[in-house]
Amino acid sequence: MDFALSDEQLAFRDMVRRWVNAELPKDWCRALEADEDHYPYALWDRLKAQGFFGIGIGEQWGGLGGDVVMQMIFARELARTAGGLLWVWGLTSFGGAKTITAVGSEAQKARWLPAMAAGDLRVSLSMTEPGGGTDVLGAMKTFAEKVDGGWILSGEKMWTTGAKAADRLLVLARTQKNVARKHHGLTLFFVDARSAGISSTLLPKLGMRAMGSCAVHYDGVFVPDCDVLGEPGQAWGAMLPTLNNERIMVGAQCLGAIDAVLEDALDYMQQRRAFGRLIGEFQALQHYVADIACWQVQTELLLYNVAWMQAQGMACGIEANMLKMVATENAVRAADLGIQILGGMGYSAETDMQRYWRDHRILRMTPISNEMVRNSIAESLGLPRSF
């Protein structure tokens, strides 16, 4: 099987790489990420001006088209300098647009996708419950009650990234209490973020700081029927195909981070001198970069294999989980070795190695913990359910 990029894909990759190098240098992104109190609107505006929010959205809705492979090429190149700030693009283009394309009505697609493609609508995903973490279904307490013309939504969500800057919140809530299975009776709402009854509180965190993850409270929020995505009560089944997209996106982000780690490590090793010679001559450090290069290729092969499967419409849930697990662990250990190679400068906020580690450590836990990924892989091999 040949997973080499086509001439068109290679041309797109090279164009994006040149643009990222010119418009999103690492020191600029590092300064943006450090400002936890302010959403990186400047990054949004540069992506919007270039039309990149249209990648993956159909031309009939004003987008640029392109499949998941094209989106992953872009995500990888963007993450190489932006790191976790990738989600300035990803939450809307990959989260919101993919979900609406998959489960939205034709009227909803016509209403929202053109605005997303133009970079005129910001989306935030509001799924995780307090105390829930990976156990989204077991912890689900957010509830929406049917009323005339819509629903009344009440509850609380955690780690709703970008909530303070969002125009729309993609909210998963329970709409039926007495159900046979935990995944039954769930509904997906595309909520106006400025609706009465919504309040958000910033959650300080280790990495991806400028993205502004929040606790969001929904206190009797009215959501009209036209803002329900898919069939009420059937959200979980409708969402399952889109979950692979998020894991593929995480894989692309991690591969971009590994690219950046290797790039910075080699540059430093070819300039820094110690004990009378370049540190790039030291065998121990050469072994470190050799390991990073191997993790890079391993992650790349997994990423493009799974993205190709998804683009072909093939079932790839287990493969997407494998990619997520391997990519996140490779990115974190690559960044850790990068810090070791740079020594004190790797720990310094004046360089990016520490940012690569901080931005990607969380991905070993989200959107699903790597322990739960291992559980699912083992179960797929015929072993009994372990949780």
Residues 6+ apart with CB under 8 A from 243: 317, 320, 367
**Distance between CA atoms of residues 189 and 340, nearest Å:** 45
Which of 219, 248, 346, 241 has the alpha carbon at shortest distance from 306? 248
Predicted local distance difference test score (pLDDT) of residue 241? 67
Sign of CA dihedral 371, 372, 378, 384: positive
**Distance between CA atoms of residues 24 and 43, nearest Å:** 8
Can you name the residues that pair with 274 across neighbouring β-strands?
Answer: 277
In contact, 96 and 123? CB cutoff 8 Å: yes
Q: Which residues in 101-126 are b (16+ Cβ under 10 Å) and which e?
A: bebbeeebbebbbbbbbbbebbbbbb
Any idea what DSSP says for residue 275?
Answer: T
Predicted local distance difference test score (pLDDT) of residue 236? 87
Structure tokens at 60: 């009939």
Structure tokens at 309: 């499967």
**Distance between CA atoms of residues 249 and 259, nearest Å:** 15
- C-alpha distances out from residue 287 to 92, 190, 272, 283, 292, Å: 39, 49, 17, 6, 9
What domains sit in the chain, N to C, each tagged with a CATH number? 7-122 (1.10.540.10), 125-231 (2.40.110.10), 236-380 (1.20.140.10)
Low-confidence ranges of the chain (pLDDT < 50): none
**Distance between CA atoms of residues 231 and 177, nearest Å:** 17
Mind giving me the DSSP string for 137-201? TTT---EEEEETTEEEEEEEEEEEETGGG-SEEEEEEE--SS-SSTTSSEEEEEEETTSTTEEEE
Element spanning 358, H or E: helix 353-361
**What is the amino acid identity at position 356?**
Y
**Distance between CA atoms of residues 103 and 228, nearest Å:** 10
Can you name the residues that pair with 161 across neighbouring β-strands?
Answer: 213
**What does the pLDDT look like over 195-252, one tens digit per residue?**
999 999 999 999 999 999 999 999 999 999 999 999 999 998 877 767 888 999 999 9
Which of 173, 165, 96, 93 has the alpha carbon at shortest distance from 127? 173
Can you name the residues that pair with 151 across neighbouring β-strands?
Answer: 146, 223
Predicted local distance difference test score (pLDDT) of residue 66? 92
Which of 140, 113, 129 has the alpha carbon at shortest distance from 53? 113
Mind giving me the DSSP string for 7-52? HHHHHHHHHHHHHHHHHS-HHHHHHHHH-TTS--HHHHHHHHHHTG
**What does the pLDDT look like over 54-91, one tens digit per residue?**
999 999 999 999 999 999 999 999 999 999 999 999 99
Mind giving me the DSSP string for 294-329? HHHHHHHHHHHHHHHHHHTT---HHHHHHHHHHHHH
